[in-house]
Structure 1
Amino acid sequence: MDETAKYLIHAEITAAGVVERSDVVGAVFGQTEGLLGDELDLRDLQDSKKVGRIDVEIRSEEGSSYGEITVGSGLDKVQTAILAAALETIEQVGPCSAEITVTDIEDIRSAKRRAVVERATELLASFDAQAVRTEDIVETVRQRARVEDITTYEGLPAGPRVADSDAIVVVEGRADVLQLLQYGVKNAIAVEGTDVPEAVAALSRERTVTAFVDGDRGGDLILEELAQMGDIDYVAVAPRGRSVEGLSRETVMSALREKIPYETVAEADSAAAALDGTVAIGRSGSQESDAAAAVAGVEAEPPTSTAEPATAGTRSDTETGTAAEEAVDGDASAEAPTALSDHIDAVVGSGTVRLLDTDLSVRSEGEAADAVSLIEACEPAPQTVVLDDTCSQKVLDVAAQRGVEVVVATGEGEYVKQPTGVQVRTV
Structure 2
Amino acid sequence: MAKTYVNTAKYMVRISFEIDGVVDKPDIVGAVFGQSEGLLGDELDLKELQKNGKVGRIEITHKNILGKTKGELTVPSGMDMVQTSVLAAAIESVDKVGPYEAKFTIETIEDARSNKREEIKKRASDILKKFMSEQMPDAMELTEGIREEVRSAKIVEYGPENLSAGPDVDSSKEIIVVEGRADVVNLLRNSIKNVIGMDGGKIPQTILDLSEKKGVTIFVDGDRGGELIARRFSQLGRLEFIARAPDGKEVEELTRKEIIQSLEKKVPAENFFRKKVFEKEPSAETFFPKAPFFGSRERPMQGYQHRSYSRESGERQYNRRYPERSGIGRGPRRPEGSRYGSPRYSGGRPRERNDYMHSRQQFEEPIREAPASPEDREKFLPVMEKLKGTLKAKLFDAQMNELSEVNVRDLVTSLDENKNAKFVVFDGIITKRLVEKASENKVECIVGVRKGKIEEGTVKAVTL
TM range (shorter): 0.3 to 0.5
